[in-house]
Structure 1
Amino acid sequence: MAAFPINEFMASLPWTVLAVAVALAVTFAVAVAQRRHSVMDVAWGPGFVAVAAVSWLLSAGTGDDGRRLLLLLLTGVWGLRLGTHIGWRARGGHEDPRYEAMLRTAPGSRNAYALRRVYLPQGMVMFFVSLTVQVGMFATGALGWVAVLGVLLWVIGFVFESVGDWQLAQFKKDPANKGTVLNTGLWRYTRHPNYFGDAAVWAGLFLISADSWPGILTVLSPALMVWALAGKTGKPLTEKAMSARPGYKEYVESTSGFIPWPPRRPAGRR
């Protein structure tokens, strides 16, 4: 196995930083034109695809071709599906309430405030999380059993995320369900199949990279994504918004908060 091409990898970093910057600049321009900064959510997945594509091009002739192609395809499928789903869900809509609440307190220009509070932090997170893909692109070792486990975990995550999103979309189509809680399908086993799926996808990508040195050193990249989804911006904010709905307290008591698990019996029932 050839040594990791550290010089080539380091030379690629300015270009991947540029890819993130260009993706966010285009997103910001669209957001200003539409007066809706929640378009950042639409660009989140495709932004990772842009970074993966740049890394794939720059790692040609250095990294293992099988791993390079696998990381590009899996990141691309995940990112483009996510961007398409969020874009379809938000079509013709107004500013997301989360962004509106934040921008309402903007001291001065809302756009400048959004640039500092939304685009810059998310760009930094995007670059850091994508390091596991960037390093994997330059890894020289052939694919092994750890990478196979990574693919299986990615598949599980992608199924949970995409099927969970589809089930929620179908649930919301019925006006009779407005203000109620979805507790069937995958939502019976976890309160957040989409967030769990997202976390599993990135854990899978990490394993594909960690199969060859020094991919294992990027463990903090998927860890940051999992922490954000489970403990910071994903699960907590969603549950705060849902907490007042009738039946949600009972749903919390009976359903796993993140990792899928058979539902618990409500207290007092046998």
Structure 2
Amino acid sequence: MSRSASLLRITIAYVIAIAAGLAWLVWGPDTGQLWLDGLIADLVATLVIFAASRMHGNSSFYDAYWSVIPPLLAFYWWVAADAGVNDTRWWLMMAVLLAWAIRLTANWVRTFPGMHHEDWRYAVVRGRAGRFGIVADLMGIHVFPTLQVFAGLVPVYVVATRAGEPLGLLDIVAFVVGVAALALETVADLQMHRFIATRRPGQVMQSGVWSWSRHPNYVGECGIWLAMGLFGLAAWPGAWWVFVGTAAMLAMFLLVSIPLMEQRSLERRPEYRDVVQRVSLFLPRPPKKNDPSLSRT
């Protein structure tokens, strides 16, 4: 299947998924809680994408869900809560969230080669589950990330439903953090794209922001969710629980995504051992100088 045909099928699946979620919100039972209505609609849409993934034998149908759904949920909450259109905090937060969603979705579209490609991590997840592969596909690849992102959106819900709180310094800090995180992700992706286009077999990326962190794109991603948490705290001072989603995101990257990436890089690229010795795993810092005593084995 061609790349354009693959993207068309994925787009159709997303239109159906969003329509299914919207149908639940319009005609489904009213729980009386905006956040719960949003969660149920989110899960309904996720099940549609899961069905499309199984029909096409490719769980990468879900990849764009991470960035497509958050702005839609945010605007649903904002409209349903009848928040004020002049709420500066809301628009500052949405500027960051929308820019993040557009950038991440566009980056996925740009790099998705077609239906023949599936994120290699999905096969690992299903393989480890053995005969329960379909359960791992549903829960680990589709439902769990949906719940993860939903947790990250808790502060967005707070801002959407508590419009009118005074704008303060924390809002400015949140906006700066969000813009900085977005800039880091963008630069990291652009540098990686250029590297991939010219790299030799086995070569490892270790220049630009990738010389300060082995996973700068994940640092930027966590920074986005930290910014959302700061906006939520600004809207509801003392509500420390708005950072639960931020903490969950950090834990997922540090305990699941990064270890998988590290193992794969070490297995496929011998040069990566040198990078591990010199470059920070996560938080950016100046790289260590080469130490002749630390030779590869």
TM-score by length of 1: 0.86
**1:80 pairs with one of 77, 102, 107:** 102
**2:138 pairs with one of 112, 115, 124:** 115
For residues 180-205 of structure 1, the C-alpha deviation after alignment (integer angstroms, 9 at most, x for no partner) is: 11111110111111000001111112
**5+ residue gaps, structure 2:** 1-31
Q: Which residue identity does 1:264 align to in structure 2? A: K
CA contact (8 A) 1:161 1:197 kept: yes
CA contact (8 A) 2:202 2:271 kept: no
Q: Which residue identity does 1:263 align to in structure 2? A: P
**1:152 pairs with one of 164, 173, 176:** 176
1:163 aligns with 2:209: no
CA contact (8 A) 1:164 1:193 kept: yes
Find the residue that maps to 1:211 and give its secondary structure. helix
CA contact (8 A) 1:189 1:256 kept: yes
Q: Give 1:205's aligned residue.
A: 228
**2:212 pairs with one of 173, 181, 189:** 189
CA distance in 1, matches of 2:119, 2:207: 26
CA distance in 2, matches of 1:73, 1:240: 36
Give the CA deviation at 1:23: 3.3
For residues 37-95 of structure 1, the C-alpha deviation after alignment (integer angstroms, 9 at most, x for no partner) is: 02222211112222222222223236972222222332122123212212321231422
Q: Give 1:20's aligned residue.
A: 42
CA distance in 2, matches of 1:268, 1:171: 26
CA contact (8 A) 2:71 2:97 kept: yes
For residues 172-228 of structure 1, the C-alpha deviation after alignment (integer angstroms, 9 at most, x for no partner) is: 112x43321111111011111100000111111211221122554312121111121
Give the stretch that moved more between structures: 143-152 or 49-58.
Answer: 49-58
**1:239 pairs with one of 256, 262, 270:** 262
Give the stretch that moved more between structures: 162-171 or 211-220.
Answer: 211-220
Q: Give 1:103's aligned residue.
A: 126
Q: Which residue identity does 2:110 align to in structure 1? A: W
- Aligned residues: CA RMSD: 2.2
CA contact (8 A) 2:89 2:231 kept: yes
Give the stretch that moved more between structures: 253-262 or 65-74.
Answer: 65-74
Q: 1:55 to 1:73 in 2, by over 3 A?
A: farther
CA contact (8 A) 2:77 2:160 kept: yes
Q: Give 1:249's aligned residue.
A: 273
Q: Give 2:22's aligned residue.
A: none
Q: Give 1:67's aligned residue.
A: 89
